[in-house]
Structure 1
């Protein structure tokens, strides 16, 4: 695999070693292989790990397939994929309702990851950056190579990837609010999560009212954290469960009314702002 990136104008001067280790999060073993193979060029010229990289420099990095061993993924149906954005490093697709993000068993072939593997074959293999529940639809981000995967993961941890969801809840919600309640596992049902003030992990959801419906409210939800079932647990905890929620609503009917509507990020290599909307949404 060969990658060519131009250092952004706002980047700071740093060594090749710092670039690979601190900025691009290349694993130590792979950095060793790059060094011994002389697998990195600056503006087409061979360099050392102590060579300096400047804004505007063109970096060419070559890694072998054996540096990042690929796992086996059954190929699904490429026609199931609806692309919202794609380049050589990442892809954002619109996940349909009722489809799992990735297999839990080796023989599964009907998840979004299976279908995306078929779409990208034979040149790329998808890597999961984050996931959506099976019942949730909308925008979801994947890496197209293992090189960019940890960089996107760090952006997610640093809350540098903006995600906004559409949701429809039972009842009338009158005002914007922030729900800051820790979430942990439900001891009585392994499928579920619950608000757990003592043993749970920090979870923060911002809720904004979009419009009032008959006995329901359409809202936007923005996440500061990414806990399993976070929006579903938080809204149920304030007495406004999601419409159609089979786990957290006493009146589940129809599909789960939760849709990952918007996803924004700054491209880690080009500094381009990427902003997509998964249309049509819930309203």
Structure 2
């Protein structure tokens, strides 16, 4: 386990977690500023919002970069990215210089990241997934990359928070099992958490690329959940200017929070 995570990062207070989930259920899925100083700003990115313009989604007109710029009244520079369907803490800098400093910290594994996810099946305790991932080229952004790149080292930690037993049959089973987990990526490969959880046969709910279509259809039809159940809930790092450690947190997006709240009756 990473020694310099915040003291509350591994599981934290479940009371605060549930309070945050209940609050998010009633909120409109708009972008929210969760941290700001003279150098950095972090927002809670809604699911479904692109970080910046992409040739893959040419029809889109709204992006996190644009929304954050309009919200704070200053130009902002993305420090990292979240996949379009992933919600949670997204960090920007107010200059290219500060973004470069944080980018180097990212590359040097000096930033601790925590995600929460709902996955198929029951996970027990904590564990580590050390499984190299072959780079998956993007049709547009990576068209000049080599096709013969070797698999890249990829490491993720997980910790089970809660388990649920739902009295619904999916496939050949009369009941259905799910887990709420915390995930800690130690590397930053494309779709790493989604691919790692699929690799250990606990795919993330709502993942239309690496997930389980039967379970995605079930939660969509039975619980009206049509999102990816993955959110970045915390970033922790030493501020590159003030040298103080900061922790920036957010709760799961409102649809995921509503599903977790609903499933409390099925907790085991």
Q: Calculate the TM-score normalised by the size of structure 2.
A: 0.68
Cα RMSD after superposing both structures: 2.2
Alpha-carbon shift at residue 139 of structure 1 (Å): 0.5
Q: Could you tell me how far apart the structure 1 residues matched to 2:125 and 2:31 are?
A: 37
Aligned to 1:231: 193
Q: Could you tell me how far apart the structure 1 residues matched to 2:251 and 2:203 are?
A: 24
Aligned to 1:243: 205
Which runs of 5 or more residues in structure 2 are unaligned?
Answer: 1-28, 141-148, 166-176, 218-225, 261-268
Alpha-carbon shift at residue 279 of structure 1 (Å): 2.5
Higher helix share: 2
Question: How many residue pairs align between the two structures?
Answer: 196
Q: Which runs of 4+ in 1 moved over 6 A?
A: none
Alpha-carbon shift at residue 175 of structure 1 (Å): 3.1
Which runs of 5 or more residues in structure 1 are unaligned?
Answer: 1-78, 192-197
Q: Could you tell me how far apart the structure 2 residues matched to 1:260 and 1:179 are?
A: 18
Aligned to 1:176: 126
Aligned to 1:112: 64
Mapped pair 1:210 → 2:172 = no
Q: Calculate the TM-score normalised by the size of structure 1.
A: 0.64
Aligned residue for 2:96, secondary structure, equals coil
Conservation of the 8 A alpha-carbon contact between 1:203 and 1:224: yes
Higher strand share: 1
Alpha-carbon shift at residue 221 of structure 1 (Å): 0.3
Mapped pair 1:84 → 2:56 = no
Q: Could you tell me how far apart the structure 1 residues matched to 2:136 and 2:69 are?
A: 33
Alpha-carbon shift at residue 107 of structure 1 (Å): 8.0
Conservation of the 8 A alpha-carbon contact between 2:114 and 2:233: yes
Mapped pair 1:263 → 2:209 = no
Q: Could you tell me how far apart the structure 1 residues matched to 2:30 and 2:160 are?
A: 32
Greater CA radius of gyration, 1 or 2?
A: 1
| Closer/same/farther in 2, CA of residues 144 and 258 from structure 1, 3 Å limit | same
